[in-house]
Amino acid sequence: MSAVLQNLVNQPYKHGFVTDIESDIAPKGLNEETIRLISAKKNEPEWLLAFRLGAYRKWLGMEEPKWSTVRYPEIDFQAISYYSAPKPRKKLNSMDEVDPELLRTFEKLGVPMHERAALAGVAVDVIFDSVSVATTYKQKLAEVGIIFCSISEAVHMHPDLVRQYLGTVVPVGDNYYAALNSAVFTDGTFCFIPKGVRCPMDLSTYFRINTEESGQFERTLIIAEEGASVSYLEGCTAPRFDTNQLHAAVVELVALNDADIKYSTVQNWYAGDENGVGGIYNFVTKRGLAKGVNSRISWTQVETGSAITWKYPSCVLLGENSVGEFYSVAVTNHHQQADTGTKMVHLGRNTRSTIVSKGISAGHSHNSYRGLVRVAPTAAGARNYSQCDSMLVGDACSANTFPYIQVRNHTAKVEHEASTSKIGEDQLFYFAQRGIGNEEAVSMIINGFCKDVFQQLPMEFAVEATKLLGFKLEGSVG
């Protein structure tokens, strides 16, 4: 690989700073006492403690999955602190009361809070470590009956809804990390769009991991009732640390008849340094249940961060004519590893799914697409189209595609296309010969490659994603 390409892809992480806020951290280690402590700290009802303990007991009997291509040292689950919260001075009534240090952190990250949020028309439910600090636009959303709050708050304010849906899409024993999350999740987002309501704005949450060695176990639950629709944005950055941090989130989506949920993610957690030291382990379970007739669930993700990304945002297409979509860009550099893709499970008649995956590998990284398309005997007329493209930057990286296709209904139609390409000297030379420098060329090539995914993102996110890939692969001016 040429020196130019090397320099372009070796940009240091731009969000590597630590905010000095007094944290309330639980002692390291995991046992029933830890879980009771979390539950007590959060003043939770008995049923939720039972949910957690049930998950914990399942987890004890489970084994860490080893089937992916990702490689990492064994995780010591007893060396992790499972609860960490910034200590509020008092109950916060407005943004003015938020710790100024915290606000400065948001500013450094460019989080569009308060006025900026108002201008952009985005409601930001900010998660700082594990406790929600502020929620904006709640009032306006409440007017149309939308509930958008932290899941802890929802447990207290809307216990019946939480209890009705929590763990119904991702059961507590679904997989090792989902079980762990169900046992120890500290906070996350809850969103409920009532019947017939189209959410008037994109809902957005910025996550930020801030305490060293505190595992992050976010829990998100989004429900769209009959005829409801919502677009939800999740954006993430994290400060620079040398110690690996485990992040095992669970996201559950439920779409009833004619409901539409669009979930977009831009993930830029600390990826480790150029030698592969440090970085976040991002082991996430995301699943949407297209429960109702004509319902639709769409995942769009731009994954650029984390030392290891291991996730498969999936759709269970239960309702007749329901639609599942997965649009993904995964960028890996240095020693990053990504094993990501989706599962489309067709259960209902005439269900349709689309998969568009773009993997970009640079440096010594490994980037795998792994996807399952399953058509059940009940899914007459099901259709799937998959397109998986990989792009290699340099000679030391790798890209893999693992498509799994299981069809049990002869009326189903499944298509799969795949390609691999390389940003080579010849492409850069072509641009150069037209007077266009390498940085701009790489940016254009990458954005062209990712176009089908970026155009699925909400406008502001698309701009952010383009910039992020710029940081990641070409460096910024100055």
Contacts with other proteins, residue ranges (CB under 8 A) = 2, 421, 425-427, 429-437, 440, 444-445, 447-452
Closest distance of CB 305 from other proteins, Å: 23
Residue among 25 and 432 whose Cβ is closer to other proteins? 432
Residue among 17 and 430 whose Cβ is closer to other proteins? 430
Closest distance of CB 436 from other proteins, Å: 6
Residue among 17 and 429 whose Cβ is closer to other proteins? 429
Q: Which two tokens stand for residue 423?
A: 């940003």
Closest distance of CB 262 from other proteins, Å: 22
Residue among 79 and 436 whose Cβ is closer to other proteins? 436
Closest distance of CB 425 from other proteins, Å: 5
Closest distance of CB 450 from other proteins, Å: 7
Residue among 281 and 449 whose Cβ is closer to other proteins? 449
Q: From residue 131, give the alpha-carbon distance in Å to each of 83, 128, 268, 417.
A: 10, 6, 20, 43
Residue among 205 and 443 whose Cβ is closer to other proteins? 443
Q: Which two tokens stand for residue 433?
A: 């010969």
Q: What is the largest CA-CA distance in the chain?
A: 69
For residue 245, the surrounding DSSP H or E stretch is strand 245-247
Closest distance of CB 26 from other proteins, Å: 47
Contact 98, 92 (CB under 8 A): yes
Q: Which of 213, 342, 241 is nearest to 288 (CA)?
A: 342
Do the strands 187-193 and 147-150 form a parallel or antiparallel pair, or are they unpaired?
antiparallel
Residue among 385 and 431 whose Cβ is closer to other proteins? 431
- Residue 226, amino acid: E
Half-sphere exposure of 36 (CA within 13 A, CB side): 3
Closest distance of CB 459 from other proteins, Å: 18
Contacts of 467-471 spanning 24+ positions with Cβ under 8 A:
468/266, 468/268, 468/302, 468/304, 469/302, 469/304, 469/329, 469/331, 469/360, 469/443, 470/443, 471/11, 471/14
**Cα–Cα–Cα angle for 185, 457, 128, rounded to 5 degrees:** 30
Residue among 85 and 329 whose Cβ is closer to other proteins? 329
Closest distance of CB 419 from other proteins, Å: 9
Rounded to 10 degrees, what is the CA torsion of 435, 439, 441, 443? -150
* 3-state SS assignment for residue 39: helix
Residue among 27 and 437 whose Cβ is closer to other proteins? 437
Q: Which of 338, 217, 343 is nearest to 287 (CA)?
A: 343
Q: Which of 308, 293, 403, 433 is nearest to 351 (CA)?
A: 293
Q: Which two tokens stand for residue 221?
A: 């639950």
Residue among 64 and 417 whose Cβ is closer to other proteins? 417
Closest distance of CB 230 from other proteins, Å: 29
- Residue 402, amino acid: F
Rounded to 10 degrees, what is the CA torsion of 414, 402, 262, 470? -130
Closest distance of CB 72 from other proteins, Å: 33
Closest distance of CB 172 from other proteins, Å: 42
Contact 126, 113 (CB under 8 A): yes
Residue among 61 and 435 whose Cβ is closer to other proteins? 435
